[in-house]
Every structure is written in C-alpha cells, then in structure tokens.
Structure 1
C-alpha cells in the first residue's frame, strides 16, 4: 500500500512540476505555444523558416522540436523531416531527424512507464491508444518493427503504448531504430526535392502513399502465402 502511495505521489509531483514550468515560466509557455502553432499548421515552409531563424542553433532547435512533437501527439513529424532535408541536405537531415525521433520515442516510452495509462490517455486519446493495443495483441513481439515500417500508424502513440507494456526498453529501442530508418530516409529524400509549391508537396505525399500501399500489398501476399502453406501442411498431415 505504501509503495502504491509513493508511486502515486511521484506521478503527481512530476505532473505538478511540468504544469508549473509551463504556466509560470513565460519563455517556456511562449515557445511551447509557438511550436504547437507552427506544427499544427502542417506547413513545411513555416517550419523551415522557424528553424532557420535560430541561426547556428538551428539543428538543436530542430532536434527539440522533433522531441516536442513526439510528446504532444499526434502532431505531424514528417514536416520537420522535410524541413530538415531542405535546410541541411537529405543525408544530414536524415541523421538529425532519425536521432531526434529516437530521442522522442525514448521519452514517450518512459513517460508512459512512469506516469501510467491515465496520463497517456490525456496526452493522446483513449480510442487511439486502444487501437494500438489491439495492434500489439495481433502482431506480438513484431508489433513495434511492423508499426515503424508503416507510416500511417502514429509513431508517438506506439511509443507511449509500448511503455505501458512489459516490454523492455532495449528491444523497443532497437526495433524502433531499425523500423524508423527506412521511412526517415525516404521522407528526407523527398523533403530534399520539395521547393514549397503545392504541386511538389502533393507529389511527395503521393509517393509516400504509394510506398505505404506497396508495403501493405507485400505484407498481405506474405500472409496469404503462409496461410496456404499451413493449409497444405494440414492436408498432407
């Protein structure tokens, strides 16, 4: 009983500190609100100009912005990746986007593990979290890797959901790193081609959609093949 009370007090203290920092430190509140506004507009040019405005601190600001969007799910991460590619080139942009996304994933994982499900539901949503729970139940130990390979599954909510399971941080981090790298490379490569026009932006999104469809297609083919092999084995037996 004492252990439970201590855990509850620890969570309450952590939430109180975060709340106080936001409400009583003006510079934190201003920057958080500004970052939220910029990311919620889903405008690559706006994000790029915002990051560029910090001069030599631009890479650090970009890193922190990616971590922020991870915590404040479900803000989009791909516009930061696009912006990084445009500012730093697609290779350096890939490294920056991937490493900052990994830091964000780790933070989400430990927030969930420390603060628990109630806090995560407030940061995300109960419905979205339940969908990811069902995804985990269906795919088991491969769920993290598969989720990272599918760009339409929320990166941040998956990280939060993983922290609520008995999964160790090591397997989670490795699967996230391996699964997230191909998507980050593709996003960065496309982002390097974007020049801000609607036409090229839409083209980039269509390419991402085509890639997602291709992944799903191959996944279904693989599942059908395994099912048929299982049926054949049962008949032979």
Structure 2
C-alpha cells in the first residue's frame, strides 16, 4: 500500500501546490495585468493602500508577476520617494519569502532538478557569499523571480541575503519608480514630468551599462597561470579542466593542443555553456594561441558563475616554446 502523507508533509505539499498554481495562473494571464486597474483597486483602501500594495507586491514576486508592473505603479500611485521605499520593501519581502520556500519546503526537489546556469549560480554564492548576491542584483544575468528561489538553495544566511538584496536593488527600484511617477505627471499636464522622465531613463541607462563597467573593473581580477604550473597541476589526482577556445582548425593546427583539452571556440562558448557545464568542473584553465581570447573566455565564465577560472599565460605559443607535449584532445560536439 502507498505510504500515507505525514502531518508535517501535507501542509508543505499543500503550500507548494498553491504556489505552483498561482505561478501558472499569473503566467497565463500576464497580458491582463494592468497598472491602471491596480491603481483603481488600491484607491478603495484609503490610508491602508500602501500596506496592501506592499503585500500585493510581495505576493507578486513569489508567483513570478512582472516586477516592472509594480515598480511603475508604485511611482505613479505614491510618488518617487514613498514609492521607491514601498517598491523596495515589497520586492525584498517577496524575495525573502521565495528564498524561505526554496530553503525549507522545496530545496531537495529543486536541487535535484537544478542544472546548467542554476547550478553555476549556486556555486557562485557558495564561493562568493553576499558579493555574488550583489552581483546578480546589480547585473541581471539571472531572472529576478527565479534567482530568489535559487538563493534559497545555497548556504548564505537569510540576514545577509535580505540586507544585500535591499541595498543592491535600490538603483533599479529608484529608476522604475521615477519613470512611473513621470508618466503620471505627464498625463496630468505637469511640465516637470519631462525632467523626471529623463532622470529615470538616465538611471536605467546607467544600470544597463553596469555589466560592461563591472567587466572592466574585474579585468584585474583575472587569475593567470604559467605553462610549468599548468603541467604540474595536470599530473595531480584532481587535475583542472583545460578549455581551449580557439577555432577547430587551430585546435588541430600546427600549434597542437594540451592533452585532454576540451575545444569550444570563443564565439560559441556563451551559447553552449549550459550544454557543457557538467564537463567544466572544478578549476578551469582557458587557453588560446596567446591569451587574448582565453582572457575573454575567463571573464565570460566568471560572469555566469564559475568561481575558479585561470588563463594560461601566453597560451600555446609559450607552451610550444617550452617544448611541452601536445596531443589530440576531446572536441565538444
């Protein structure tokens, strides 16, 4: 006979089913979500409207409702200052609830299903802690609503997660709130709305440039490794993965390649990273003819969550100059 659900298991299962049903409902009705309808509905709550709004924003975050819908509505309804605070509060509470659901209710199941980019995100938090949370919040590499659940699978303390999220979500919340406020003012004929709108668009442009700025700032953080050290590491019991990012013709060309290397051309790496993530375990050393392309590959791997990436100094040119062995490697299909 099948085992009966225990008293402790049934409430957890019921909550998970309810969340899944709510997510499905929101997903199927995304095109019907309207800030104007939200504004009209909340106006009936009087002085309690801000409290109801925060609760609704938090719930929307848990069930994957578009965050921009609430952020714009918050600016239109409550103004740039109070609206920004309420948007941050609602987003942070919702992100915290999703975090706790993943950690205490669905952690084992989600962890088993996690793959590709999600696994790398978890690994990034395990290695970098709150710094990786800040990076994900500032640079939207991962979807916001999904990342809230993914963070719950890591060992990061709840307090660190909440404080870091609140602080690093501020620029985006401020920009969207001011944009919503500017739209409302424009509809009411306020000439200063143009100034508000330009300010919000400037903030959004700055946020859009953050990935490039961070990449440049992280340029000095690339770890380098020379050929003799690489050769010694390859002889250890847990050798690094050698990722050769040259084209296939160069990989089998006159410079040869390091024994056991995987070959993924740099221009294909980003598109294929999920498919080959299982092969890139532990320490990864990127290689090209010199080091320009391999440095770019290292930055790309770091940006998607690989924590232990190094670049072979002077690439295959130096490897060949030292007379080190080359042989056929494994090309990733």
- TM-score after normalising by structure 2: 0.52
Distance 2:11 2:133 in 1: 31
- Tell me if the contact between 2:16 and 2:105 (Cα under 8 Å) persists in the aligned partners: no
Higher strand share: 2
Distance 1:106 1:52 in 2: 27
Structure with the larger RCO, 1 or 2 (CA within 8 Å, 6+ apart): 1
Distance 2:49 2:110 in 1: 30
- Tell me if the contact between 1:40 and 1:76 (Cα under 8 Å) persists in the aligned partners: no
Higher helix share: 1
- Tell me if the contact between 1:59 and 1:96 (Cα under 8 Å) persists in the aligned partners: yes
3-state DSSP of counterpart to 1:194: helix
Aligned to 1:26: none
Give me the CA root mean square deviation. 4.1
Rate the CA distance shift 1:42–1:132 in 2: closer, same or farther, 3 A: farther
Cα deviation, 1:83-113, whole Å, max 9, x if unaligned, reads 1111111100011111121111111111111
- Structure 1: state its 5+ residue gaps: 24-28
Aligned to 2:37: 46
- Tell me if the contact between 2:35 and 2:73 (Cα under 8 Å) persists in the aligned partners: yes
Aligned to 2:51: 60
Distance 1:130 1:48 in 2: 40
Aligned to 2:8: 10
Distance 2:99 2:220 in 1: 35
- Tell me if the contact between 2:74 and 2:87 (Cα under 8 Å) persists in the aligned partners: yes
- Tell me if the contact between 2:133 and 2:161 (Cα under 8 Å) persists in the aligned partners: yes
- TM-score after normalising by structure 1: 0.70
Aligned to 2:121: 135
Rate the CA distance shift 1:44–1:17 in 2: closer, same or farther, 3 A: closer
> What is the Cα deviation at residue 205 of structure 1?
9.3
Rate the CA distance shift 1:40–1:206 in 2: closer, same or farther, 3 A: farther
Rate the CA distance shift 1:230–1:44 in 2: closer, same or farther, 3 A: farther
- Tell me if the contact between 1:11 and 1:115 (Cα under 8 Å) persists in the aligned partners: no
> What is the Cα deviation at residue 174 of structure 1?
1.6
